[in-house]
Amino acid sequence: MHKIPCILHGENRVGIKLLTMVLLEGFSAIEQKIFGHINSVKERIKAYAVSIENMFNQQILGDDDGPGQWSIPMSDNGKMVGAITLDNNCIRLILNNFEMLINASISD
């Protein structure tokens, strides 16, 4: 418990934290700006989640011929991101395409 984690575990934990923080920012922006043309907050959350999942599965973790199968883990109330668990290879792919994720999640 008191030992320093290896560099791979550290890289994975930092990557998951960065991903979680950007997704949380996207979910909080739903209330105000992202998908503002949709009236229902629940439908905006669903539209944001679908757009992020499509980005991950068709551009980051896969392509049109071989899409990935990742979905956003949601909290019990369905309004926030839940605990994310990904292996180090997936985190590296995500961080290599992090700007795309930021553009989709942060409106400014």
Summarize pLDDT for 51-107 with one digit per residue, the tens.
889 998 999 888 888 888 888 888 777 677 888 888 888 899 999 999 999 888 876
pTM of the full structure: 0.81
Alpha carbon distances (Å) from 108 to 25, 33, 37, 45: 11, 9, 17, 18
Helices 98-105 & 88-96, crossing angle to 10 degrees? 70
Q: Structure tokens of 35?
A: 């998908």
Residue 1 lies in a domain: no
Residue 2 lies in a domain: no
Tallying the residues shown for the chain, one arrives at 108
Residue 36 lies in a domain: yes
Three-state secondary structure readout of 34-56: CCCCCCCHHHHHHHHHHHHHHHH
Domain region containing 97: 7-105
Residue 58 lies in a domain: yes
pLDDT in tens, 66-82: 888 888 888 777 677 88
Domain count, the chain: 1
pLDDT in tens, 21-50: 998 888 877 766 677 777 777 788 888 888
Residue 77 lies in a domain: yes
Residue 47 lies in a domain: yes
Q: How confident is the model at residue 108 (pLDDT cuts 50, 70, 90)?
A: low
